[in-house]
Amino acid sequence: MNTNMAIAYTNGIIYSGHGRETGKAILTNNGSIHGIVDANKIDEEYTIKDLGGLNIAPSLIDLQIYGGNGKMFSTELTTDAIKSTYEYCLSGGCSHFMITMATNTIEKFLKGMDVVREYWKQGGKGLLGLHMEGPYLNPVKRGAHILACIKKPEMAEVEMILSAGKDVLKMITIAPEMCEERIIKLLLDHHLIVSAGHTNATLAEARRGFDLGIPTSTHLFNAMSAFQSREPGMVGAIYDDEKVKSSVVADGIHVDFTAVRISKRQLGKRLFLITDAVAEVLHGEYQHIFKGDRYTLPDGTLSGSSLTMLKAVQNCVEKIGIDLEEALRMASTYPAQLLKHGPKLGKIEAGYAADFVVFDNEFKVIEMILS
């Protein structure tokens, strides 16, 4: 459903990003939220939409997803693959996503940028931009990434990528210890979301990157230097820096639920959810084999999740013990804080996009309401 008319959503449990409210109505008009009012104070201009006691929250946001519904973007590099990923996102309560490409040749990254542009040109919805995960990673922590394509960045190449991707490249994961200070500054100056990941950084190296302005990190614990008593590494640097966010894959496979619980206590509002989801691919440079609850490379290396964003929220509530309103913020409000341009997302308040997920108490998506 879209919200290009004056609609008041009533009789729902509202998770606004600020708190939980009942007995209220969400007022929307032309794709924007006008506010939340008492349910008995709705002007006559609004059409009433009764939510039947269901939950309504800001639609979810996934900053790291590779594919969905059987299609992997980097394997196909087609607008159909992005559309399939969008439909997969919607099935899990997510309206906006960052299509992600793992380490590959520069030529493939550039082709991916062209396909993103074409998707938008065709009127494709939901896509925030391209997330390049690599190639400027630490080979020691490559995980499922292609070793032959991992490299240290050179200024000329980075400048070329930034020029080619100026309208579509929105996020990049780098290992900060592999990048000169001027490279990190250049990426930040171009308003990319720079994320520290696939890194074997020492505490000092990680701190250097964060002090330069790196605002977040990629899939906490996975493919990063561990917290140890004499060398706290990347995990320790994330814990210790009150400005730095981190994504986490809350499937109980990438990270044990107890580790997520401990990290949530430490990081608070700085921890947010991603799916890191892939689709099964049995050919090409990245082969992802479905193992029932995860994807692996042919050699058994963990290569991606089968999560949806709402399933990650459900896991946070049922497996980790996080309150529902906070788990929803981890999937919408907190990732939205990293987005500096585009629509205002992640909260139900005046001036924000009227993008909502309506779901029941079993975490089943009942309806997506999109601006």
CA proximity to 219, closest of 297, 338, 310, 305: 305
Note if 50 is an active site residue: no
For residues 155-167, give the mean pLDDT.
97
* pLDDT score of 103 more than 70: yes
pLDDT of residue 284: 85
Please write the tens of the pLDDT for every residue from 31-45: 999 999 999 999 999
* pLDDT score of 107 more than 60: yes
Measured between alpha carbons, how far is 277 from 100 in angstroms, rounded to an integer?
10
Give Rg (Cα) of the chain: 20
DSSP code for 127: E
pLDDT of residue 3: 56
* C-beta separation of 251 from 279 below 8 A: no
pLDDT of residue 2: 60
pLDDT of residue 4: 60
CATH of 60-336, one of 3.40.50.300, 3.20.20.140, 3.50.50.60, 3.30.70.100: 3.20.20.140
Domain extents for the chain?
7-57+348-369, 60-336
Measured between alpha carbons, how far is 196 from 208 in angstroms, rounded to an integer?
11
Q: Which residues pair with 71 in a beta bridge?
A: 68
Please write the tens of the pLDDT for every residue from 46-94: 999 999 999 999 999 999 999 999 999 999 999 999 999 999 999 999 9
pLDDT of residue 352: 98
* pLDDT score of 343 more than 90: no
Q: Which of 276, 293, 323, 360 is catalytic?
A: 276
Measured between alpha carbons, how far is 260 from 327 in angstroms, rounded to an integer?
12
Measured between alpha carbons, how far is 359 from 369 in angstroms, rounded to an integer?
11
* C-beta separation of 349 from 17 below 8 A: yes
Encoded tokens for 258: 């107890």
Measured between alpha carbons, how far is 279 from 119 in angstroms, rounded to an integer?
19
The domain 7-57+348-369 having CATH identifier 3.40.50.40: the answer here is no
pLDDT of residue 81: 98
pLDDT of residue 20: 97
Measured between alpha carbons, how far is 112 from 209 in angstroms, rounded to an integer?
27
> Three-state DSSP class for 6?
coil
For residues 345-359, give the mean pLDDT.
98
The percent of residues in the chain predicted with pLDDT above 70, rounded, is 99
For residues 134-147, give the mean pLDDT.
96
CA proximity to 62, closest of 131, 145, 136: 131
pLDDT of residue 342: 80
* C-beta separation of 33 from 350 below 8 A: yes
Please write the tens of the pLDDT for every residue from 191-246: 999 999 999 999 999 999 999 999 999 999 999 999 999 999 999 999 999 999 99
Cα separations in angstroms, 85 against 80, 136, 271: 9, 25, 24
* pLDDT score of 146 more than 70: yes
Measured between alpha carbons, how far is 258 from 28 in angstroms, rounded to an integer?
40
Measured CA angle at 203 (ends 201, 206), to 5 deg: 55
For residues 306-323, give the mean pLDDT.
98
Q: Between helices 106-121 and 79-91, what is the axis angle to 10°?
A: 70
